Amino acid sequence: ETGLKMGAKVVWLPTTNAANQIRKNGKTGGIECLDNGKAVEPLREIFKMIKEYDVVLGTGHLSPEEIFPVVDQAKNMGLNKIVITHPEFWVVGMSHEEQVRIVRDYDVYLERCYAQPMGGGVYKSNLSDNLSIIREVGYEHVMVDTDGGQVENPLWELAMEEYMQYLADRGVTSEQLKVMTQTIPAKLLGLEQ
């Protein structure tokens, strides 16, 4: 709430502390967002604040099994600025079918990143998979970025240049690139002109 009062524009659900990520790393513990398949009460309180301040909800590193009921609860509470945080990341692990379904059923945005850090100084390129999902769900539902900053990934400005060139070389128009890189983020952040 303090962050929202200070002007925060995005609330991410747990990432590295999400129970899903902890389990994927072979450990126990972490933050659970569901109880018996329903959003936990503190999460509902957070959703009320997100709605009140009209900010973005990012799904963090939840699993697909968590994302669907969480997004359903958020939509039922009137949240419309919802971003499925890098669904291609191996920790999240959403299939193409799940990504298509969540966009179709809930009118959300997919954040599709240049690459995913794999640990040990290694990253995996997402470019061909990103192009495929853009074609499947439509560019109007995909926000592209680099998720740069990790030591495994290239510098964000180099990654973004390569990402945009890759998409342009494969028929994505400059107008479509503008929507995915500028229009969607501006809309979500309330920066529309």
Alpha carbon of 28 to those of 35, 78, 102, 161: distances in Å?
16, 33, 28, 39
At 184, list the tokens.
């969607």
Share of the chain above pLDDT 70, in %: 99
pLDDT at residue 152 tops 60: yes
Three-class SS state of 167: helix
Q: What is the pTM assigned to this prediction? A: 0.95
H or E stretch covering 20: helix 19-24
Alpha carbon of 53 to those of 110, 112, 122: distances in Å?
22, 25, 38
Report pLDDT for 120. Answer: 80
Report pLDDT for 3. Answer: 96
At 117, list the tokens.
């850090």
Report pLDDT for 117. Answer: 81
Q: CA-to-CA distance for 191 and 193, rounded, in angstroms?
A: 6
Q: Residue 69 corresponds to which amino acid?
A: P
At 48, list the tokens.
């009320």
pLDDT at residue 119 tops 80: no
pLDDT at residue 107 tops 80: yes
Report pLDDT for 101. Answer: 98
What does residue 123 show for φ and ψ, rounded to 5 degrees? -130, 160
What's the rounded mean pLDDT across residues 52-57?
98
Three-class SS state of 66: helix
Burial 135-163 (b: 16+ CB within 10 A, else e): eebebebbbbbbbbeeebbbeeeebbebb
Q: Out of 2-16, 49-63, 79-93, 115-129, which region has the weakest mean confidence (pLDDT)?
A: 115-129
Share of the chain above pLDDT 90, in %: 89
Q: What angle in degrees, to the nearest 10, is found between the helix axes of 64-76 and 96-106?
A: 0
Confidence of residue 131 (pLDDT cuts 50, 70, 90): very high
Confidence of residue 193 (pLDDT cuts 50, 70, 90): low
pLDDT, the chain, mean: 95
Does 74 or 118 have the greater pLDDT score? Answer: 74
What's the rounded mean pLDDT across residues 101-130?
92
Q: Which residues pair with 190 in a beta bridge?
A: none
What's the rounded mean pLDDT across residues 48-56?
98
Predicted confidence (pLDDT) per residue in 63-74, tens digit: 999 999 999 999
